Amino acid sequence: MKLNHVIQELYASKINCSISSFWDRGYEVKLGNQMNGFKDSESVDTLEEAAIWLDAAARRHYPVSVYAKRRQCCRIGCGKLADYRIIYGPSPDDWTDSCLADIPEMMTDAGWHEIVRVR
């Protein structure tokens, strides 16, 4: 799971977050903002852990948000949570989420695909 993708998706869904670091204490990850308050926070050791934590915290605190809904398998009628993200281009919108069973159906005719586990 890539941190830049998580932050871009949270931003597009109007969900605030912040990450700060201190050289020997890892990263402090927060969901929310200083003006309206933080919903949750966590200390993590890596940016990958920050991405995983932000993703889970956003789905937990904002279950009906655009962000949370995009984390479900995109095949119409599936309804399962997405296990994988299929990236098929350089644009921030060139991706789709899929459960394991539907990966073959979700592949596009793009020249390349990157498949990344998201949970």
Q: Which residues pair with 86 in a beta bridge?
A: 96, 115
Q: How confident is the model at residue 14 (pLDDT cuts 50, 70, 90)?
A: very high
Residues 8, 36 within the same domain: yes
Domain holding 97, by residue range, is: 72-117
Which helix (H) or strand (E) covers residue 18, if one does?
strand 17-22
pLDDT of residue 36: 93
Residues 55, 80 within the same domain: no
The whole-angstrom distance between residue 70's C-alpha and the CA centroid of its chain comes to 9
Q: Where are the alpha helices (DSSP H) in 13-46?
A: none
The answer to whether residue 94 scores a pLDDT higher than 90 is: no
pLDDT of residue 1: 65
Q: Which of 53, 68, 83 is the last residue of a domain?
A: 68
Residues 63, 76 within the same domain: no
Amino acid at 112: W
Residues 17, 39 within the same domain: yes
Residues 45, 95 within the same domain: no
